[in-house]
Structure 1
């Protein structure tokens, strides 16, 4: 991995895929935690002014994350991640679906499978998301609703959070997980 900033977002409609690569000036352990711990995920996952709120999360193979994207008027859009494969500090795979507040998925909806890979070189961590959609209709709907812009904003939030956590790493404690 080079030391230059990596920020790629490629849509491949022929293969129903999106590939996102983003490098972060932070060690792998910190980036991994930001992706796998609910308290940290909630601080960056949603594009501002929206926020993410995890209702439950079991980061294990067969586990799941049930969360809401919460808007400024209190509106909630529920999502579910079903974790299928986890290789600590290297990668994890989940199925992403829309659902209700109890995790019930509407069988008429489609989802996507995310393979998230992590690698570090000289303190820079590269995160690669290989996202496969179930249908062209799902992929096009995601693009139309602003997935690229919203997800890019979320990754920007992650960059800010990581910078804050790196600064406070010398004085860890309960304040570490508070909203930056």
Structure 2
């Protein structure tokens, strides 16, 4: 299993996930940089993501939706606030309407993704920070922690397919 740990910290208003992969930092970075690879793992297996906008530059936007088992769509947006390839990226994250416009529903969270080289392996740390304890609890109640673990758990197979290609 790629996910090493998750830690929900109500005092810091954060959720942190740590995972390790059998691939170098540059290869793992591509999983964020390339929207076709990103949508292969962003979202749990039963809610796959489709990115229809992906401006991977500071100030750029990503717009996507996740499609549920019954065909329902949950829309989201990112605003990239910092990109330091291939080591770190930061983005604001929230819910969107069907046109990709932020709704303000459940507020905004801020994600920081750090990639650390462990020789031929990479440690990825994703930390999401929330505006309030209420927002953190609402997002957790929607299944974010388990969904993120399932989503990141799909990365190994993507990396293995690339290595054998």
TM range (shorter): over 0.9
Larger radius of gyration: 1
The answer to whether 1:99 aligns with 2:91 is no
Shift, 1:103, TM fit: 2.2
- Counterpart mapping for 1:1-20 below 5 A: 7-20=4-17
Give me the whole-angstrom Cα distance separating, in 1, the residues matched to 2:111 and 2:53.
19
Gaps of 5+ in 2: none
Take 2:140 and 2:58, find their aligned partners in 1: how far apart are those partners?
29
**Equivalent position of 1:135 in the other structure:** 132
Q: Which runs of 4+ in 1 moved over 4 A?
A: none
What does 1:22-37 align with in structure 2 at a 5 Å threshold? 22-37=19-34
For residue 114 of structure 1, the aligned residue among 105, 111, 115 is 111
Corresponding residue for residue 148 of structure 1: 145
Q: Tell me, which stretches of 5 or more residues in structure 1 are unaligned?
A: 169-180
Query: Per-residue deviation at 1:49?
Result: 2.2
Q: Write the deviation string for residues 112-145 of structure 1: whole angstroms up to 9, x where unpaired.
A: 1001111112210011112110111110011111
With 98-107 and 88-97 compared, the bigger mean Cα shift is at: 98-107
Deviations 1:140-163 (A, max 9, x none): 011111111111110111121111
In 2, the alpha carbon distance for the partners of 1:62 and 1:105 equals: 15
- Size of the alignment, in residue pairs? 164
* Aligned equivalent of 1:160, options 157, 160, 163: 157
Provide the TM-score with structure 2 as the length reference. Answer: 0.94
- CA distance in 2 between counterparts of 1:70 and 1:61 reads 27
- Tell me the distance in 2 between the aligned counterparts of 1:31 and 1:149: 21
Match of 1:62 in 2: 59
Q: Given that residues 4 and 19 in structure 2 are in contact (C-alpha distance below 8 angstroms), is that contact kept between their aligned partners in structure 1?
A: yes
Aligned residues: CA RMSD: 1.3
Looking at secondary structure, tell me which structure has more helix per residue: 1
When residues 49 and 6 of structure 1 are mapped into structure 2, their CA distance, relative to the original with a 3 A threshold, is: closer
